[in-house]
């Protein structure tokens, strides 16, 4: 059976003031911050504030677009979420003709550790960006990353997440 994308997870949205944008989305559209994903907004400068109008099933990831943004330059993109079996099978199927975010072949080496989930960023042949996420963090770490000897990339140091969790 061919791989099938999962449910819509989140959409990246660039805003000049993340707090003001969150207030606007709350007042006009009923969005609220997702506490389980608060690390990304509180854990380090420049992380996304995840807001949701459906209890966290789908979110908007509000990124503050500033000159001094410490993360990799953000491009617009849509993120999907899949169950661990589908995620691991997808990563193990690489390379399979899907372009990576940089336009080169997507490989298992493009796996990203986001501390709360695993992700693969890729594009379609026309340059539209996508992210595939799996939130079964420990299972994917054991059954894919460790089992296959993968060395995932990171967007920030692990100690920031560990310090945030220890609070």
- Residue 94: pLDDT band by 50, 70, 90 thresholds? very high
Domain 7-166 listed as CATH 1.10.1740.10? no
Say how many C-beta atoms besides its own lie within 10 A of residue 110's C-beta: 21
Sketch the domain layout of the chain as residue ranges: 7-166
The residue to which tokens 């500033």 are assigned: 66
What order do you get walking across the sheet with 32-33 strand by strand? Answer: 32-33, 49-52, 59-64, 7-15, 78-81, 129-134, 118-123, 112-113, 153-154
Residue 155's pLDDT band, with cuts at 50, 70 and 90, is: confident
* Residue 71: per-residue pLDDT: 46
The model carries a pTM of 0.74
Span 40-45, mean pLDDT?
79
Residue 165: band (very low, low, confident or very high) from pLDDT cuts 50, 70, 90: confident
In DSSP terms, 11 is beta-bridged to: 60, 78
Within its chain, how far is the Cα of 9 from the centroid? 9
Residue percentage of the chain with pLDDT more than 70: 92
- What percent of the chain lies above the pLDDT cut of 90? 47
pLDDT tens across 49-72, in order? Answer: 999 999 999 998 988 876 665 444
Better-scored residue on pLDDT, 68 or 138: 138
For strand 49-52 and strand 112-113, is the pairing parallel, antiparallel, or unpaired?
A: unpaired
CA distance 112 to 120: 6
pLDDT at 76: 63
Of 120, 119, 92, 111, whose CA–CA distance to 153 is shortest? 111
Give the model confidence (pLDDT) of 102-122 as tens digits. Answer: 889 999 999 999 999 999 998
CA distance 93 to 97: 10
């Amino acid at each position: 059976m061919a791989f099938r994308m999962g449910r819509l997870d989140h959409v990246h949205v660039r805003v000049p003031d993340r707090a003001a944008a969150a207030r606007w989305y709350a007042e006009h559209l009923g969005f609220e911050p997702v506490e389980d994903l608060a690390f990304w907004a509180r854990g380090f400068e420049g992380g996304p504030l995840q807001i949701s109008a459906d209890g966290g099933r789908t979110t908007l990831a509000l990124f503050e677009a500033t000159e001094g943004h410490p993360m990799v330059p953000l491009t617009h993109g849509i993120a999907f979420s899949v169950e661990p079996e589908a995620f691991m099978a997808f990563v193990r199927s690489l390379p399979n003709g899907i372009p990576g975010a940089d336009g080169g072949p997507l490989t298992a080496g493009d796996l990203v550790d986001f501390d709360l989930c695993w992700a693969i960023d890729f594009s379609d042949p026309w340059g539209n960006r996508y992210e595939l996420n799996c939130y079964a963090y420990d299972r994917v770490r054991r059954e894919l990353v460790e089992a296959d000897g993968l060395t995932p990339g990171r967007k920030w140091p692990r100690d920031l997440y560990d310090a945030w969790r220890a609070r």
